[in-house]
Structure 1
Amino acid sequence: MFGLFGSGNFGNEGSLEAMVGFLRRERPEADLSCVCGEPEVVKRTFGIETSPIRRNGPAAGLSGRINRLLLKIPGKLADFAQTVSRIRKSDVMIFPGTGILDDFGERPAGMPYDILKWCLAARLVGTRIAFVSIGAGPIRNRLSRLLMTSAARLAHYRSYRDLQSREFMESVGFDTRGDAIYPDLAFGLPAQIRSPRTRPEALKVGVGIMAYRGWYGFAEGGQSILTGYIGKLARFVVHLLDSGHDVRLLIGDEEDSIAVDALRAAVGDLRPGSRLAHEQVHSLGDVMGQMALTDIVVATRFHNIVCALMMRRPTISLSYARKNDVLMEEMGLGEYCQHVETFNVETLIAQFSQLAAAREKHEQAIGERLVEFREQVDRQDACLLSGVIG
């Protein structure tokens, strides 16, 4: 299995958890391993063999100077040789979910290059490649797009988590005629037990907050984007508190703790002494447990949206990517979306009031759609067993 796992993104960890659980359940005799960003974390969490995505190149001394003098080509060649050696031991390499084919926060020399490197190595030694329920697009950098689509062409199996991912690949000239659409892998995880409903006049509102600094994060103006997002969200949270609702702050990545602190400070400036519930989480299961303590959710991260829906919580999305909107539309909640960089607080308040008034109707519709999603997950499992894993 390959991906940016172990780095504190609970959505990514949930995708890996779903795939590991499936393989252990259906192929208990298989030896599992993971190529990931933080091998020690994944090894400790899942009890499987791990290795890093990249080898440590020569950083100092004569060998380092020679490598830099030769445009780092010797280091790249040594890294690729090691990649070939490692992947040779595997029959199948699986990319389990995640937005593996987008360049959110990535430069071409990062994951776009690494994905192609590992797929080329796998093809050279006859290892089968499967992209399973992945997200694709946008890939805004042209070089990153070339690297990622080239890698996808090498796969023996591809499925996307939504129609817009497949349509994106088609829009960049990719042949998707043999590619299927199945739900995000996290929908195959067990959901938490729901808590009792609260009185409609005093709702428990989950606010999923993200340390969002724009699509690339490292680009100029990122901090001002985060500051504007926090400021508007603080005004919304104050409205909730003034209306008598309880607010619980939710995250989907360890980095989001920065945004939690910033939001608490901003709300404190507007309403000194305000209390906002927040608990530390360490997995996607923990996030679902937090969702179980809410009645309605307003969130930004994709897998916060997924967790809320898995708990049948009516949800509003402050989306940073089209994937949020597509999932919301599939759940009958398409009218409850705004973009994270441009959302209007007054519109958000109106959306919340409308959603709260129709809570029971949306809970039922979400539940019916979840049954369909579970059936689709099972169909893909059968397909993987018959045609990919063997």
Structure 2
Amino acid sequence: MTGAPRVGVFGLLGSGNLGNDGSLEAVLGYLRAEHPRAVVDALCGGPEVVSARYGIPATRLHWYRGEYRTASRAGAVAAKGFGKLVDVVRTAAWVRRHDVVIVPGMGVLEATLPLRPWGFPYSLFLLCASGRLFGTRVALVSVGADRIRDRPTRALVRWAARCARYRSYRDVLSRDAMRAMGVDTSRDEVYPDLAFALPTPPASAPPGAPGPVCVGVMDFHGGNDDRARAAEIHRRYLDGTTRFVRALVEDGRPVRLLTGDACDAPVAAAIRDAVGSPLVTAADATSLGDLMKELAAADVAVATRYHNLICALKVGTPTLALSYAAKSEALMDRMGLGAYCHPAREVDADRLLAQFRALEQRSGDLRRTLAERNLAVARQLTDQFTALTASLFPTSPTSHHAHVYREAP
């Protein structure tokens, strides 16, 4: 590759999901350190936010601005359908302008949360197919995947993955899922989630000082296969989590509620209102860095959203996962805390409280375990960025410094 490489980043970025934006931030850090001459722009869900926050030009992912609103009237249905056709041309034209397109992390090959095939799976397929057509190198970097039952969604995800030049996964379960869905993964590697490459904030409380219990909450209604019982799942999750927070407050423990997406705020507000105690407060985090600062000050954490969980583990806080998918359990196993998982679909406040107390009793040991595992994760991410450079920027000079943008522990 001669001259300044033209690099695009793609995804539901700038749309309110802190985990997605954290993955983008990690990739931008890699590009700025290792390929500073690269000309970078984005095709994304929230272009205004991405441009303002990260200083790169950004284009709206969909032509139709109401893409993620339910279309009930005939005019809206027609506009959405027409938008799908327009997006074929828009996506192809955008891809063609680039040498490389990176899809940074995210669960782009999974359906663990409600998902329609004509939504993001269709957009991802257009991206990867355009890359194959025009010779643009498309990379799916440390992405999440799972086995998808819905046939149209599964087909689009499989075709998209097959068209990508480079694929890596954030856990073995993801690679196995793609293999089971018919993708040749023999050359694909598994690396940690990109959020682990972000800088780690310093501890904000002196050792031994009492801290809050951070509880990461989520607007959880189950996944694609749970649509018929989504309301029931949400009620059980909210009721169980509220009872757990109330029990902590009754013990005199301050609780700090965390969110990871704009849609989670009403859940945090509902828990605060139901408990009705000044010991319960909510953080106003706008990035994974903000979440990590909150979690670094905590004694213990309980987290639902996947990237809340990552942030807690990365800063070395003993954590209990309210797990809604196998990816959470795989992450907890990787970080040495596999015994501390609780199902988000069936939150039992009494059992959760017992698990929480058992976690606290082993807090010191678990902090040492997390410190060791984070060192290993950092080495793996250095390997990931080295492999990415070799695949996407074959004529770039080899870098001799670390590719993980974090402070030394």
Deviations 1:165-208 (Å, cap 9, x if unpaired)? Answer: 111112222211000001000100001111335759x6521111
Match of 2:13 in 1: 5
What is the distance in 2 between the residues matched to 1:358 and 1:284? 26
Alignment of 1:90-101 (within 5 A): 90-101=98-109
Match of 1:386 in 2: 390
Q: CA 1:150–1:278 in 2, change beyond 3 Å: closer, same or farther?
A: same
- The one-letter code sitting in structure 1 at the alignment partner of 2:259 is I
Deviations 1:209-252 (Å, cap 9, x if unpaired)? Answer: 11111214993443332222111111111221222322111111
Match of 2:215 in 1: 207
What is the distance in 1 between the residues matched to 2:66 and 2:244? 50
Secondary structure at 2:282's aligned position in 1? coil
Secondary structure at 1:362's aligned position in 2? helix
Q: CA 1:195–1:68 in 2, change beyond 3 Å: closer, same or farther?
A: closer
Q: CA 1:260–1:168 in 2, change beyond 3 Å: closer, same or farther?
A: same
Q: 2:241 aligns with which of 210, 233, 237?
A: 233
Contact 1:231 1:266 in 2 (8 A): no
2:377 is the counterpart of 1:368: no
Q: 1:313 aligns with which of 310, 314, 317?
A: 317
2:252 is the counterpart of 1:244: yes
- The one-letter code sitting in structure 2 at the alignment partner of 1:361 is D
CA positional deviation for 1:27: 0.8
- The one-letter code sitting in structure 2 at the alignment partner of 1:279 is A
Q: 1:84 aligns with which of 92, 97, 102?
A: 92
Q: 2:140 aligns with which of 107, 131, 135?
A: 131
The runs of 5 or more residues in structure 2 that have no matched partner are 1-8, 68-73, 395-409
Q: 2:28 aligns with which of 20, 43, 57?
A: 20
Q: 1:182 aligns with which of 178, 184, 191?
A: 191
CA positional deviation for 1:274: 4.4
What is the distance in 2 between the residues matched to 1:260 and 1:58? 27
- The one-letter code sitting in structure 1 at the alignment partner of 2:365 is K
Alignment of 1:195-344 (within 5 A): 195-196=204-205, 204-216=212-224, 219-268=227-276, 273-344=277-348
What is the distance in 2 between the residues matched to 1:251 and 1:57? 26
Q: CA 1:68–1:261 in 2, change beyond 3 Å: closer, same or farther?
A: closer
What is the distance in 2 between the residues matched to 1:97 and 1:190? 17
Secondary structure at 2:205's aligned position in 1? coil
Secondary structure at 1:2's aligned position in 2? strand
Please, what TM-score do these two structures have when normalized by structure 1? 0.91
Q: CA 1:67–1:259 in 2, change beyond 3 Å: closer, same or farther?
A: closer
What is the distance in 2 between the residues matched to 1:211 and 1:16? 23
2:137 is the counterpart of 1:142: no
Q: Percent identity?
A: 41
Match of 1:62 in 2: none
Q: 1:111 aligns with which of 99, 114, 120?
A: 120
- The one-letter code sitting in structure 1 at the alignment partner of 2:121 is P
Q: 1:45 aligns with which of 23, 46, 53?
A: 53
Contact 2:253 2:279 in 1 (8 A): no
Two-structure CA RMSD over aligned residues (Å): 2.5
What is the distance in 2 between the residues matched to 1:58 and 1:204? 40
- The one-letter code sitting in structure 2 at the alignment partner of 1:171 is A
Q: 1:121 aligns with which of 130, 146, 149?
A: 130
Contact 2:142 2:192 in 1 (8 A): yes
Q: CA 1:72–1:228 in 2, change beyond 3 Å: closer, same or farther?
A: closer
What is the distance in 2 between the residues matched to 1:259 and 1:71? 32
Match of 2:167 in 1: 158
CA positional deviation for 1:68: 9.6
Q: CA 1:237–1:197 in 2, change beyond 3 Å: closer, same or farther?
A: farther
The runs of 5 or more residues in structure 1 that have no matched partner are 60-65
Secondary structure at 2:214's aligned position in 1? strand
CA positional deviation for 1:67: 10
What is the distance in 2 between the residues matched to 1:58 and 1:332? 43
What is the distance in 1 between the residues matched to 2:80 and 2:317? 51
Q: CA 1:101–1:344 in 2, change beyond 3 Å: closer, same or farther?
A: same
What is the distance in 2 between the residues matched to 1:217 and 1:23? 38
Contact 1:84 1:121 in 2 (8 A): yes
Q: CA 1:199–1:164 in 2, change beyond 3 Å: closer, same or farther?
A: same
CA positional deviation for 1:331: 1.2
